[in-house]
Structure 1
């Protein structure tokens, strides 16, 4: 999917969804924002999830009522934090399997957590995966709230 590092037609479409700019930045959150934009367009609704390409900025600026620390319904956005840095990663939860979950993530790969080469389905821990710690989940639309 990627052509080079954080570039290629699909990647750049996702990057431009957020700020009309594609300059080689990490694109996992831009992929999520693109999927939200598609749902908003198709259903005629607006998500209160903050728009940014930076995962932790989205987490910090999305209204508190959209944040869930426990298990939301499938379709929620998971936000991970990389160690104690301001870097993160994100995906869409599709299913919970005990202490694991299935996700769809952009800018990941078969052997990587972030900075990968495409969009993949991943099986992840619901709390910690490598040095990535789950910050929580964002409910993009009210219907996903439990």
Structure 2
């Protein structure tokens, strides 16, 4: 039996962060968390691009353009959607997650969903760098491991 795993080494990895400008009080923290993780695991700051879009709903559109460019080994979509009085937040988070996964499968590369769904501003802050860690950091770890694993699996084909 052979076991195949990814690594946590971001050396040589080219990554784009696609980030929602809406709720940028929070998304800027997500960007910093992701960049810190990538650099601490070996990525060059020059190998990290940050693309800002108006809101989380626009993340898949920009991710598609970036995936088609062939310049990246991983993409990370970052946004914060805070629940209101309607189902709008739930619809946005579910739709974006599905579209990012569809793109990931279509382009055979990791496209990580880093959209934080929160019930309150306090909960959003906790998930963007306070009590419960930083979702940007954890998404960067997933991107690094999946980029490595994807490369290994494709090399076996």
- TM-score scaled to structure 1, two decimals? 0.31
Write 1 or 2 for the structure with the bigger share of helix. 2
Bigger RCO of structures 1 and 2 (CA < 8 A, at least 6 apart)? 2
Write 1 or 2 for the structure with the bigger share of strand. 1
